[in-house]
Copies of this chain bind each other. A is one copy, B any other.
Amino acid sequence: MAGPLEGVKILDLTWGLSGPFGIMTLCDLGAETIKVERVDGGDMARQNAPIIDGVSLYFFSVNRGKKSVALDLRTKEGKALFLDLVKRVDVVAENFVPGTMDRLGLGYEVLRKHNPRLIYAACSGFGQTGPYRERPALDVIVQGMGGIMSITGEEGGPPLRPGASLGDITAGLFLSIGILSALIEREKSGLGQMIDVSMLDCQVAILENAFVRYLNTGEVPQRIGTRHPVITPFQAFQTKDGYIAIAVGGGIEQWALFTEKIGRPELLSDERFGDRTSRTEYHKVLEPILAEALKEKTTKEWLAEFESIGVPCGPLNSIPEAAIDPQILHREMFVELPQRRIGSVKVCNTPIKLSRTTSKLERGAPDLGEHTREVLSGLLRLDEAKIESLEAAGVAASSAMP
């Protein structure tokens, strides 16, 4: 599979979505990723719907390409095996409630003694410090606390959750950026370090525009439908047969072409609509006029019209529509990967394309313990008898299917 991160080894103790998504991003780029899972059931996401013949597509989607080793870290021998693995990898990643690894006797201060070059990446709901550090958090909790739900929704309507698990996904991305930065720093210092990423902090980071507006002007960001807080029009409108998104963010020339095209040239001379900022100020006057105009043609007709004058626009696709979009297909954003029980699973590709060390997804997600024997014999040089005794004692487990 190659990729720019070939040679980087990661022990991935993460579960659920945040950590797994972040580490998958590195795995997609070629990092050898060994998922270390509980012997009894493994990553809880293995139970998440949809499940086909025992295979969780939810789990598969964010763990493709990884190996799975099932180890009981509560046992003395399990800990010893884990520490042996730690000596042979570059990164350990976990997303437990802070304190969990310490209670296992496997916190960063212990692990760094076994491997001073180790990068220890911890992702948690609220971070390793602070009054909420020991509270559990899941996606909707941090999306609620960070403020994004308060500004997602219709004007006058209830707060809503964006249609993706942004609490998890953005934390995963920031975690992976932290890991790569620490790997780069290690080239100079020879030393590892600990990375502490909080899902709630990441919500604040992605809401920079909302917080900076509020903190410096006192303006309270609100729910505004599909609008943009400071540029107008930059939103979706209903057409004769659906919806279209348009973004008229350019100068007066673009606005002139746009108003002409929608048959409302008189808007051009109205000074309330002179630039994108004043159009935002008077959006309640402008929007009904635009809404009426845009209902006159179909989405496809408008797309052709606006493309001809260079106004950024696009259809509001459903997931099935996006799944057959020619550009998305051209970019090979969907890949079919093997799964030994159900044949194959279609997943989304990495969006990071490199010209020279292109990575290619080839492997599916592992069954629990699918690579226990491979890793214990390969990386740790344990012999067959030793592995069998570990499995007999319940310290390690291999998946039933060979």
Contact = CB atoms under 8 A, between A and B. Distances in A.
B356 A193 contact: yes
Interface SS, A side? mixed
Interface string A143-158: 1111111111110011
Given A174-B173, A236-B149, A322 B204 contact: yes
A331 B129 contact: yes
A160 interface: yes
Interface string A252-282: 0000000000000000000000000100100
A214 to B, nearest CB: 5
A394 interface: no
Contact of A209 (B152, B164, B171, B183): B164
Contact of A144 (B139, B165, B316): B316
Contact of A157 (B145, B157, B175, B202): B157
A259 to B, nearest CB: 18
Interface in A151-203: 151-154, 157-166, 169-171, 173-178, 180-185, 187-189, 191, 193-198, 200-202
B141 A245 contact: yes
B180 A181 contact: yes
A62 B205 CA distance: 10
B62 A159 contact: no
Given A142-B314, A212-B347, A314-B137, A326 B207 contact: no
